[in-house]
Amino acid sequence: MSEVRVAGVGLTSFGASPNRTGRDLFAEAADIAFDDADVSRSDVEMVRYGNFMGELAEHQGHQGPLMAEAAGVSAPATRYESACASSATAIRDAVVSIRNGESDVCLVGGAERMTHLGTAGATEALAIAADDLWEVRAGVTFPGAYGLMATAYFDQYGGGKEDLAHVAVKNHENALDNEKAQYQREISVEEVLEAPAVSEPLGLYDSCPISDGAAALVLVSDEYAETHDLAAPVAITGSGQGGDRMALHDREHLARSPAADEAAVQAYEDAGVTADDVAAAEVHDCFTIAEVLAIESLGIVDRGEGITAARDGYTTVDGPVPVNLSGGLKAKGHPVGATGASQLVELTHLLEGHHPHSDAIDGDTVVAHNAGGTVASCVVHVLEVVA
């Protein structure tokens, strides 16, 4: 079975680019990735692309071949849709294909164009990742759903809004040196607590922004890397995927994420590591409570301890296991189809020493957690320095 190496990565700036198309954004990310990889586009044997709302945002379906063309690649191409976990799902499929010997070179990634829809339009488009019959028609939006999850967590484990505020403050601080981040400014706990409510107990600064952007990776087999003398020391050594019921009222748990639990177990077993080996993580913090749930599912902290991890300094830049050194979705931004791939871009830079916070980690094993909806789907990847 072939090992999957990250030969090159590319990322656009995240933020408001209302006049750029999705294909334009992905072309930029792919160009950067190919330049980084020193791999010929003619060697690409498949394109795996993540996008969530293309039909609504750009009146464009069938985006796989469209994005292959935009990237200058002539190869079979498929678009993957799994809500906010779309590009991580695409990456997982590419990993399986390379391991199985079906291909040696794959272009993977994702993009989303959202800001031109406005807040109301983007909120409506995002809502289709929830259960239309039982949630959307009843007026449940994702801020409302995650507000319910936060309340359930507080009821079961304790904690409160000030604990969540520390998550937001941490991630904004981490984004200060990230030139690709949407928000590169500090915020205080007081600002978070005094901000307008979005859906109690969540406020404005507990929520990620609406974003445009794209991310791309060139993945290769270890045989290809060796034959072409590529410097590709980072490998995707573990991959896992989990699922849960779509609607919150059908779930056994609101204060935990079984889909993420399952994905993490699979990914760690696949890589042959444990949570104790993890030096840093990029997790899906679409809302501050989502980071709390994620780090518990990943085993970075025990159940019920995630709520105070940022406040206690455990997940800060100088803590034992820094989380979201990129700024996370909260401050870096969340162009939905690009998010999962962007996490692996950030972690690759971190391991290669090209990240502003590379000196903050102690170890060569990191993990990415990308969730869809209210974590009805989740993909976890383990990355390691292998040579």
The phi and psi torsions of 15 (rounded to 5 degrees) equal: 155, -145
What CA–CA distance (Å, rounded) separates 258 from 16? Answer: 33
DSSP class of residue 75 equals S
N-term to C-term CA, the chain:
17
What would the DSSP string read from start to end of 99-168?
HTTS-SEEEEEEEE--GGGHHHHHHHHHGGGS-TTTTGGGT--HHHHHHHHHHHHHHHH---HHHHHHHH
The residues annotated with a catalytic role in the active site are 84, 334
Q: CB 134: neighbour CB atoms within 10 A?
A: 14
Task: Round to whole Å and give the CA distance between 351 and 232.
Answer: 11
Neighbours of 140 (CB within 10 A): 21
SS3 labels along 93-108: HHHHHHHCCCCCEEEE
Find, among 186, 367, 336, the residue nearest to 270 by Cα.
Answer: 367
Please tell me the distance from the alpha carbon of residue 346 to that of residue 241, in angstroms, as a whole number.
20
Residues paired with 220 in a beta bridge: 5, 105
Locus of tokens 């991959």: 239
Cα distances (Å, whole numbers) of residue 100 to 39, 95, 104, 295: 21, 9, 10, 31
* Cβ–Cβ under 8 Å, residues 313 and 278: no
Encoding tokens for residue 28? 């930029």
